[in-house]
Chain A
């Protein structure tokens, strides 16, 4: 009888050294080699009743794709993933697996869970680099659907509908498709080439993508129906940046995280003047907020040449909503954290000179379950800085709700949908951040997937309203 050797720890992810990577925008995590992937895959217990699948918002058959990797059948592994997920190279990089599939991994009860995300990324990268992508283009015979926006929700909805045989057109307001994957997430975490390759995959399924069209202005949803689209999916994202509403917030040198990241990621300001869009960070940068976007902004600021980058957060490290991994990456790179501090004023004349903050302590838990920060009187202090990035979240863009009659809107400006993505208006579906407020890429993809099913039912059977 043979005893199974349990490998307690996962195969580490090869990464660029912090001292090197803070001087470039190249990807930090380098990805597994085939040997590393097979070794990690061999740790999987191949549970019959696999809990990990329950943790995946799009329901990928995780044990089976891992089995294929273990056997060296990498292309079969990707095929298996793509039955449920059209954007695996993206998800393998930016999904918060630690809160989803990996959280439920049985191995994780005693040891480290299987590195499912890294394996997903490996399989997707292997296929992309091999050049042997498996594609069946849509017949387009089942009906015509329009998707608004080209971020993860729309791309997934469109891909799923194409796979079912629909003729799908995506309308994007920016000059490139990808939405937040292009303008929001930095190159060093999600290379834009990877995003465009997965967009190309979605196009190869027969999905058409029209850029430079803003639905709500260039065309309205009513006009899309008049043009013959039978259903419309709205995946326009959470586009409107929030500000703190403190004095000095409109001084030169204060950016919303959206503007900061759009300049760098979408417009490639890090390559100025070859690319024409400028950005200025100066020597000291204060980033306000504790989420993933704040971590992205802080790490971008370092790479733009800032000598000191502070993340200013009103609660403590344990309360930060950012992924652990991203916080660790930021720390390794030298980002400094200023916890329990709440900005009350941006100082400067014309240009930013500093950020005045109040020290905070934690009181009783609030409605989110996190302890509410309370200011400590007379604890004001000044953080000197040359620029400030406000990364405290975004709200849904009101453009489509404003120009579309019959859409029920929530108090935060979000479009109200049922569990399948149906809005209050017949034939109109929505998903992703426009419905939920800011969430994750994979949550948006899950919503796009559910909506695709509901759209199919609506067009084929007329059900839903």
Chain B
């Protein structure tokens, strides 16, 4: 500990948007191993759940995580400050995104997923791809990582549902338009399950291979529980060890959407509990 920092110490904290926070966390072991597309499992208190968070960036000694405060654990995490320690952090988990020079790629990110998309887009750019990116959110305040994405993209499109920034509409509206020109060799999408579903539906019509990063409920993150199983090509797969990246055209998104709602009631209950 030459730097005087302790493992899992928060060294930077920023609010990127209302309820979206960025933290740089000191953990050299995880940071040195990280490859784009991988995630960590965190737990913030003795009573806490284990939840997966995608890594947005890393240097030699720290990783960057970006999360939206939507549940008990992310809310508690958001209350931690610089100098505090995240109780448990395990990683890097999952298979890294497969990076090579495909030619012209389209990187699509929605909401907080843009942060997880960023290292993938960056690696694709470094591998020699022409990178066209489309990022979107509900409204302009929720657009994050715009500058980062701009740096690693040849073109960047922004959409908001309410038209407060960029084009009014969804990322898929831009995608549809760009697909008309048949320019993409591959598409990468990270964001809410419903966005990845629609992206996959759209690219399927043009038969452009699409890689999505799935976000089911997980516990251990190491293949032990099978709670994160998703159906890909009719076969059950464990997102934590077989993924999180899968071919979007083969994913049963309705199944994923249904499983994400499995504990909706309990999630509300635990938020209300003291």
A and B from one assembly? yes
B88 interface hit (Cβ, 8 Å): yes
Nearest chain B CB to A20 CB, angstrom units: 26
**0/1 string, B80-113, CB within 8 A of A gives 1:** 0000000111111100000000000000000000
User: Which residues on B sit within 8 Å (CB–CB) of A213?
Assistant: 29, 90
A384 interface hit (Cβ, 8 Å): no
Neighbour of A218 across the interface among B88, B90, B223, B236, CB < 8 A? B90
B250 interface hit (Cβ, 8 Å): no
Neighbour of B224 across the interface among A218, A239, A243, A277, CB < 8 A? A239
Residue of chain B at shortest CB distance from A275: B47
Neighbour of B220 across the interface among A174, A218, A272, CB < 8 A? A174
**0/1 string, A87-105, CB within 8 A of B gives 1:** 0000000000000000000
The reply to whether A241 and B269 contact each other, CB–CB distance below 8 Å, is no
Residue of chain B at shortest CB distance from A259: B225
User: Which residues on B sit within 8 Å (CB–CB) of A8?
Assistant: none
The reply to whether A214 and B219 contact each other, CB–CB distance below 8 Å, is no
User: Which residues on A sit within 8 Å (CB–CB) of B258?
Assistant: 252, 350
Assuming the contacts A217-B91, A275-B47, A278-B263, asked whether A250 and B236 have C-beta atoms less than 8 A apart, the reply is yes
Chain B, interface size: which category? 35 or more
B139 interface hit (Cβ, 8 Å): no
Chain A, interface size: which category? 35 or more
User: Which residues on A sit within 8 Å (CB–CB) of B33?
Assistant: 217-218
A212 interface hit (Cβ, 8 Å): yes
User: Which residues on A sit within 8 Å (CB–CB) of B73?
Assistant: 276
The reply to whether B222 and A214 contact each other, CB–CB distance below 8 Å, is yes
Residue of chain B at shortest CB distance from A276: B49
The reply to whether A218 and B263 contact each other, CB–CB distance below 8 Å, is no
The reply to whether B93 and A277 contact each other, CB–CB distance below 8 Å, is no
Inter-chain CA distance A397–B90, complex, in Å, is: 17
Beta-carbon contacts under 8 Å, B255-269 to A: 255, 258-259, 261-263, 266-267, 269
Inter-chain CA distance A271–B93, complex, in Å, is: 28
Inter-chain CA distance A218–B273, complex, in Å, is: 35
Inter-chain CA distance A398–B240, complex, in Å, is: 13
Residue of chain B at shortest CB distance from A211: B88
**0/1 string, A247-281, CB within 8 A of B gives 1:** 00110110110110011000110011111111010
B163 interface hit (Cβ, 8 Å): no
Nearest chain A CB to B89 CB, angstrom units: 6
The reply to whether B220 and A278 contact each other, CB–CB distance below 8 Å, is no
The reply to whether B236 and A243 contact each other, CB–CB distance below 8 Å, is yes
The reply to whether A397 and B225 contact each other, CB–CB distance below 8 Å, is no
Nearest chain B CB to A414 CB, angstrom units: 15
- Give residues in B with beta carbon < 8 Å to A: 29-30, 33, 43, 47-50, 72-73, 87-93, 219-220, 222-227, 229-231, 236, 241, 255, 258-259, 261-263, 266-267, 269-270, 273
Interface CB pairs A-B, < 8 A, 6: A218-B30, A218-B91, A219-B29, A252-B258, A259-B227, A276-B270
- Give residues in A with beta carbon < 8 Å to B: 173-175, 183, 211-214, 217-219, 239-241, 243, 249-250, 252-253, 255-256, 258-259, 262-263, 267-268, 271-278, 280, 350, 397-399
